[in-house]
Structure 1
Amino acid sequence: MREFFKYVFATVVGIIISTFLIFLFFIVIVFSVISSLDTSSSTTVAANSVLYLNLDQTIKERTPNKTFDNLPVIGSGSGKSIGFNDLIMALKKAKTDDNIKCIFLNVSSPNAGKATLKEVRDAIIDFRKSKKQVIAYSEVYTQDAYYLASAADKVYLNPQGVLEFKGFSSQLTFFKGAMEKIGVEAQIIRVGNYKSAVEPFINDKMSDYNRTQVSAYLGGLYDTFLNGIAETRKIPADSLYVIADTYRIKQPQDALNAKMIDGLKYKDEVLAELKKLSGLSPRQKIVSLTINEYAANLEPENSSSRDRVAVIYANGDITSGEGNDDSIGSERISRAIRKAREDDKVKAIVLRVNSGGGSALASDVIWREIVLSKKVKPVIASFGDVAASGGYYIACAADSIFVQPNTITGSIGVFGIIPNFQNLLNNKLGITFDGVKTGQYADIMSVNRPLTAGERLIIQNDVNHVYATFTSRVAEGRKKSQSYIDSIGGGHVWVGTDAVKIGLADRLGNFQDAITAAAKKAKLKEYKLVEYPQKTDPIKSFLEDGTENIRIYYAKKEFGDNFLLFQQLKKAVVNSGIQARMPFEIKVN
């Protein structure tokens, strides 16, 4: 027996020592990788350079720290990425940079929302004012890719390539039948007929209310898409509608015949044209640099100015706590707003919102900081792809709200989902529960039984209270009556152009327009932009969230396009508290 324990002890010690050595070895590897991925050195822009606009990457709200940029498993899970504003500022700089002779736009399937794509597309059009050429080429253009490419001077497609042009569709997935099969009931408490986040769990098809609003905002997105292409390609929007509706673009030659492209070329032919545009002979090698490399050389404008305009990025789901660069933690964002408010050098604040909402309580915490800030300095809100429900809540008190025509906003409504697993646990798994309690409502949020009538009334009253608070906040901020806000609320989703018409937003404009308006309201002629909150440290993020990032990375690989469905089902089960959230995850194909 003594020998047995001796060997067991020796084995345990061996395992501990081995684990420690492996961990130490892993840390050494990580820091070696970090050293090899150092991007702090600047990139030299040679004469006669071609700027390579590689847009088949994630276009985020902010350019992340680049330490793990090429290691998606332990990084953000998305590989290369760039912040849309850095991209736009880089194009603005390239416009007057004599060393940049032209742009090569290569894009097949960009990873960005509709409003972000419009920001980038408008920047490409602005670059063309320099009279420098923008050449777009791809073997495959998705609709989003073609939307970007159509801003170029010349659009080329591989002779055997594909141009997708078919119109927009938005499909929702309903889980009611699957939940019934496994014995799970979704108990729904909500306010607003349009607050359809709950529909996938109680219906097997779209309600009439939801179908109406989806048709409206999808039509708005499509109008922006068609009108943008019509303007740059000189093709009437009505003609483009017919081309898509009849699925006319089946072969590459069809796209050329419809004048949607300028030629069918192989890449070597495009490269030859780029050489000519950059003043090189056929035998000379093209000198190029990516937009990521070029953006890394950007320097702040008016960096010597004492006056500042603070940009606060609020991106992702709204939750209580700290959050990170991809989620809005009420503590982190409210602290950033407070810091900007209390800094005498900061003369104005721009709140950049890209969020479908989340916790109603966390949204109210952030709203309070905006209200306090508005009393002492101008606060302007800029909405990105989505600023809806809680995302709208946090910004409704701003002095002015800027939206893109294809921003998704509104969704002023509240809901709660309390799953009931009793049938699954009792009848299918044979698990039962019993216990005691000191009060009638001590286990009010229990998920192993259905809600009682009294419990449902309590929760409904809570939801009603949150909705009344939400609409009163919006009414106060937008200087409207609460009854009017209720009439356009009820969970109704609006596209940006309609949001301006009904008073939920003030102006159509991009991010830079919002910054300019903030500076003007603060009477600033020169200023320095400062960004809040501080970006998440990649090493700290890895140490804290590395396992979660790895799990998400492999889940995305396993589920593919169905990963969104997995997320939706998970949210329905794990989201606690009353939610001010978008009715659904919008995916336009």
Structure 2
Amino acid sequence: MSKKTLWVFGIILAAMACFIIMASLSLYLLTRPARIEVRQNSVLEITLERELPELPPTTPVAQIFERDSVSVIDLDRLLRAAAKDQRIAGVYVAIHPLGNSWAQIEEIRGLLHEFRQSKKKVYAYLAVDMANEKELYLASAADEIYLNPDSGLLINGLMAEVGFYKRMMAKLKIEPQFLQFKEFKSAENFTREKMTPEVRSMLESILVDIQDRFVRTIAEERKIDPARLREVIKNGIAPAPLAVQEHLVTALGYEDEIQSKLTVDKSEGGKEYRSISASKYLKTLESSQGAKQRVALIGGLGPIVSGSSDEAWGNFMGGETMAARLREIRKEKDIKGVLFRVDSPGGSAVGSDKIWREIRLLEKEGKPVVASMAGVAGSGGYYIAMGARKIVAEPSTITGSIGVIFGKFNLRGLYEQWLGITVDQIKLAENADIFSSVNSLTDQQRNQIKAWMEEIYNNFVRKAAEGRGTTFADLEPKAHGRIYTGSQAKQLQLIDEVGGLAMAMNLLKKEMKIPEKEEVELVLYPKPKSFWQSLMEGDLFKVSTPGPSLESFLKRTQQILETPSPWLIAPELMIH
């Protein structure tokens, strides 16, 4: 190698090193904590929009992009601290269009009500073009609600929509092959054009339960006659003046007008509005390190797969990854209990069973587990929670769905008539094609799968009965794949208590035999790493890479389609 080549190579390496150093320095400056001052008589400002994450981010990528986000567990912590903080005069909540589940809204409502017990006020501002039921439901937990003069309320009653794809399947020449246990397990979206009577009655009971609770709550909070509120709901739209007239909001106004009501005197004369954002206030709080008892906090979040979790963003949970984390908690001698936050519609039966097994082993180790259900904990989501010593759910949590579903598609028609692809086969056994993507199930194959599914269903019911301290015969009629709200599940003894994280923590303390008022240290799993830890350990650049070719992608897709997978997944439910 010539001297000139070495010089060029050296310059390139030096340039790359400078770039990495500059990028690392920029990220450090971006992520390092700044000094934050909380002034006397400050208003804690909380902005709620889209959907709050359940837990703080733990991965390096998420920590960078979500550095100012506040999770549900963070909101719990900062509102408890603000209630005791003499520097905090009140809370101002700006409510934007929400993507939260009904149960998550109930969790936040509970936190705001607990804050109000400190005799400090909560002010809500509906920063939306048209506030719907969820946004009003959340705002009603405040002492005062304000609405833009050109806005309004859209409280026109709840509706559930279920999409059906039978005609689309027929047009694409795709033949769905689905089996389910039992009649409530799914809406049979791919093989029907409308709901079965059983599914319709189930969804109607869910809607009635949630809407009745909405009416009772708003009527009580806003001191309105429930019958009058139902009349407003029949009309559907309440323009801003009507919303004030019906006492659904306190007054109309703009953000600056609300803030002007919360001003305090300045030492040099005049008035000023003092505020601190939720994300900044959170950074001023001391951790509970040094508490006598340590409790693991772990989330079972997203659809369940049998293998590894999505480590970058946590969009789904892998049975193997979750089992490894729970095993780690079991081996940590100073961890005495586990708070298990579940928000999952279910998924892989095998993945769910792996997680359930580790929960049971934690209990055998003498470490009590309390499951706190968020928006949905259905089917596999219920499966992973049912091994816990106690289960807590919000009134509107969607849970249950104790059942199993199996499905595949015969794509031969799509291949041949639409794509011009033909497939020829050689079989060395009669059932070699049972999970082929270009063959339909024979009657004998269908019966084989039914027997397999029945065994999985019976195991599910048996383990649920064991977890709930009852018998198979008593629990099985409550199964059948049916979903329930948290309040309905409590009546059927599928859960122990109705409530949120605070209720779950109190139950866990009781099981650990420690006083309710005693502080415990919550240890988040997986343990968050700093940017520098992740950089030094090589985690920052662990990203999945795409397959080398279209052919490999198609082969992987075909393998997925031909892999037999029974699913413990709750039916999709969109409530508007």
The TM-score bracket by the shorter chain reads 0.7 to 0.9
Supply the AA of the counterpart residue of 1:344: K
For 2:406, which of 416, 423, 426 is the aligned residue?
Answer: 416
| Percentage identity across paired residues of the two chains | 31
1:308 aligns with 2:294: yes
Supply the AA of the counterpart residue of 1:307: Q
- Partner of 2:565: helix, strand, or coil? coil
- Partner of 1:124: helix, strand, or coil? helix
Structure 1's 381 and 66: CA in aligned 2 closer, same or farther, altered over 3 A?
closer
For 1:49, which of 39, 42, 49 is the aligned residue?
Answer: 42
For 2:122, which of 130, 134, 153 is the aligned residue?
Answer: 134
Please state how far the C-alpha of 1:248 moved relative to its aligned partner. Answer: 5.3
- Partner of 1:344: helix, strand, or coil? coil
- Partner of 1:220: helix, strand, or coil? helix
- For 2:208 and 2:15, the matched residues in 1 are separated by 56
Instruction: Please tell me whether the aligned partners of residues 55 and 105 of structure 1 are also in contact (alpha carbons under 8 angstroms).
Output: yes
For 2:171, which of 171, 181, 184 is the aligned residue?
Answer: 181
For 1:273, which of 254, 261, 267 is the aligned residue?
Answer: 261
Structure 1's 210 and 461: CA in aligned 2 closer, same or farther, altered over 3 A?
same
Please state how far the C-alpha of 1:257 moved relative to its aligned partner. Answer: 0.5
Partner of 1:552: none
Please state how far the C-alpha of 1:296 moved relative to its aligned partner. Answer: 2.6
Partner of 2:282: 295
Please state how far the C-alpha of 1:290 moved relative to its aligned partner. Answer: 1.3
- Partner of 1:159: helix, strand, or coil? coil
Supply the AA of the counterpart residue of 2:411: F
1:317 aligns with 2:303: yes
* CA deviation profile, 1:436-487 (whole Å, cap 9, x unmatched): 2332222321101212222222222211111111111111111222123221
- Of stretches 456-465 and 351-360 in structure 1, the one that deviates more from structure 2 is 456-465
Supply the AA of the counterpart residue of 1:135: Y
Instruction: Please tell me whether the aligned partners of residues 410 and 439 of structure 2 are also in contact (alpha carbons under 8 angstroms).
Output: yes
* CA deviation profile, 1:157-203 (whole Å, cap 9, x unmatched): 11111222222111111111111111111101211000115x11111
| Structure 1 unmatched runs, 5+ | 1-18, 549-569
Partner of 1:109: 97
Instruction: Please tell me whether the aligned partners of residues 61 and 540 of structure 2 are also in contact (alpha carbons under 8 angstroms).
Output: no
1:517 aligns with 2:507: yes
Structure 1's 405 and 20: CA in aligned 2 closer, same or farther, altered over 3 A?
farther
Within-5 A mapping of 1:397-412: 397-412=387-402
Within-5 A mapping of 1:89-488: 89-140=77-128, 141-196=131-186, 199-247=188-236, 249=238, 251-276=239-264, 284-301=271-288, 303-323=289-309, 324=311, 325-375=314-364, 376-488=366-478
1:531 aligns with 2:524: yes
- Partner of 1:60: helix, strand, or coil? coil
| Structure 2 unmatched runs, 5+ | 1-11, 547-557
- For 1:346 and 1:258, the matched residues in 2 are separated by 52
Supply the AA of the counterpart residue of 1:179: M
* CA deviation profile, 1:293-319 (whole Å, cap 9, x unmatched): 212333333x21342222221111111
Please state how far the C-alpha of 1:488 moved relative to its aligned partner. Answer: 1.0
Supply the AA of the counterpart residue of 1:238: A
- Partner of 2:49: helix, strand, or coil? coil
Instruction: Please tell me whether the aligned partners of residues 164 and 194 of structure 2 are also in contact (alpha carbons under 8 angstroms).
Output: yes
- Partner of 1:490: helix, strand, or coil? coil
Please state how far the C-alpha of 1:493 moved relative to its aligned partner. Answer: 0.3
Please state how far the C-alpha of 1:32 moved relative to its aligned partner. Answer: 5.7
1:493 aligns with 2:483: yes
Structure 1's 442 and 82: CA in aligned 2 closer, same or farther, altered over 3 A?
same
Q: Count residues in correspondence.
A: 541
- Of stretches 337-346 and 30-39 in structure 1, the one that deviates more from structure 2 is 30-39
- Of stretches 407-416 and 27-36 in structure 1, the one that deviates more from structure 2 is 27-36
Structure 1's 89 and 226: CA in aligned 2 closer, same or farther, altered over 3 A?
farther
- For 1:253 and 1:182, the matched residues in 2 are separated by 51
Across the aligned residues of Structure 1 and Structure 2, the Cα RMSD in angstroms comes to 3.0
- Partner of 1:371: helix, strand, or coil? helix
- Of stretches 290-299 and 397-406 in structure 1, the one that deviates more from structure 2 is 290-299
Structure 1's 530 and 68: CA in aligned 2 closer, same or farther, altered over 3 A?
closer
Structure 1's 575 and 531: CA in aligned 2 closer, same or farther, altered over 3 A?
farther
- For 2:122 and 2:87, the matched residues in 1 are separated by 15
Structure 1's 23 and 87: CA in aligned 2 closer, same or farther, altered over 3 A?
farther
Supply the AA of the counterpart residue of 1:54: T
- For 1:22 and 1:415, the matched residues in 2 are separated by 56
- Of stretches 32-41 and 366-375 in structure 1, the one that deviates more from structure 2 is 32-41
Instruction: Please tell me whether the aligned partners of residues 109 and 144 of structure 1 are also in contact (alpha carbons under 8 angstroms).
Output: no
Instruction: Please tell me whether the aligned partners of residues 37 and 67 of structure 1 are also in contact (alpha carbons under 8 angstroms).
Output: no
Please state how far the C-alpha of 1:420 moved relative to its aligned partner. Answer: 0.6
Please state how far the C-alpha of 1:573 moved relative to its aligned partner. Answer: 6.6
Instruction: Please tell me whether the aligned partners of residues 275 and 282 of structure 1 are also in contact (alpha carbons under 8 angstroms).
Output: no
Please state how far the C-alpha of 1:370 moved relative to its aligned partner. Answer: 1.4
1:504 aligns with 2:491: no
Supply the AA of the counterpart residue of 1:81: S
- Partner of 1:109: helix, strand, or coil? strand
TM-score by length of 2: 0.86
- For 2:69 and 2:507, the matched residues in 1 are separated by 28
